[in-house]
Amino acid sequence: MNQISNAIATRDQGPAAQIETYRGEYAALVPSHVNADQWIRLAVGAIRGNKDLEQAAANDVGVFLRELKTAARLGLEPGTEQFYLTPRKKGGRKVIQGIVGYQGIVELIYRAGAASTVIVESVRANDTFRYVPGRDAKPVHEIDWFGADRGPLVGVYAYAVMKDGAVSKVVVLNRTRVMEIKAKSDSKNSEYSPWNTNEESMWLKSAVRQLAKWVPTSAEYMREQLRAQAEVASEPPSLTDAPPLPPTANALDDYDPAEEGPVEAELVD
């Protein structure tokens, strides 16, 4: 077999081909609102467009496919700021590790249906920022968009406006707090870590991850829906002639009955 044939055979058996092999399983895992074909194209494109990622995925295809399974179950786009795919050294070789990004956490909050707006912003030294807990409902953040330089990152904040108009807890983190969070990350020293390739996005993630403790996220919402549904089912039947409620199956499509514990456990540093 010549070199060209070898290359074709390797590619046909590589990580991208394995995604196609398990297309049906991934399509069954993604939530109903996610286009499965588009999700699979994103996963394949993320690997084929990056030699380092493709090699890391090929080193342990099983780990790679498992990380993609997490992205599929959460309904997040692999290879984007919703769900990073990064090479990590393990046992002397690089393998793929998936990391939920700040946009992924924001997506989970929106998907829960309780928040109408999620605000996550970084603050730089030359910005104007004012917020007094107990006095201000939300921060005042003024940016000189036409200034020469906003300066270095000094903080980050996040909050949500709920559909009833209420404002959630406002999370504000300064540089010291963000660096404490970074210090706990296993990936902080990796050249491929988002902490080193896209630092501002990790500041944003640090804030929105704290916010996720105070507002409903997708998995929490699904559990609550199941609990409410179970309570209704246990009530005696009504004797009125009221029409039945519309079906709620769509709201439960991405619920994982095996999942237990707080949602934060799904959000990997």
SS (H, E, C) 188-221: CCCCCCHHHHCHHHHHHHHHHHHHCCCCCCHHHH
Nearest to 12 by CA among 62, 43, 58: 58
AA letter at 69: K
pLDDT surpasses 60 at 116: yes
| Distance separating alpha carbons of residues 228 and 222, to the nearest angstrom | 10
Q: Rounded to whole angstroms, how far apart are CA atoms 83 and 68?
A: 9
How far, in Å, CA of 35 to CA of 92, rounded? 37
How sure is the predictor about 219, in pLDDT bands with cuts at 50, 70 and 90?
Answer: low
Nearest to 245 by CA among 228, 262, 259: 228
Sheet of 153-162, strands arranged across: 115-124, 153-162, 171-174
Percent of the chain with pLDDT over 70: 76
Which of 78-92, 196-210, 232-246, 247-261 shows the lowest per-residue confidence on average (mean pLDDT)?
247-261
Compute CA distances 82 → 46, 78, 104, 106, 130, whole Å. Answer: 13, 7, 4, 9, 29
Strand (E) or helix (H) holding 83? strand 83-90
**Three-class DSSP category at 46:** helix
Is residue 267 over pLDDT 60? no
* Alpha-carbon torsion (63, 68, 71, 74), positive or negative: negative
pTM of the model: 0.75
DSSP, collapsed to helix, strand or coil, labels residue 8 as helix
- pLDDT given at position 189: 83
With a pLDDT cut of 90, the percent of the chain lying above it is: 65
Least confident of 74-88, 219-233, 235-249, 255-269: 255-269
Q: What is the pLDDT of residue 233?
A: 59
Give the DSSP H/E element, type plus range, for residue 153: strand 153-162
Q: Cβ contacts of residue 157 below 8 Å, gap of 6+?
A: 119, 120, 121, 123, 129, 131, 139, 141, 170, 171, 172, 173, 207
Predicted pLDDT at 266? 34
In this prediction, residue 252 carries a pLDDT of 25
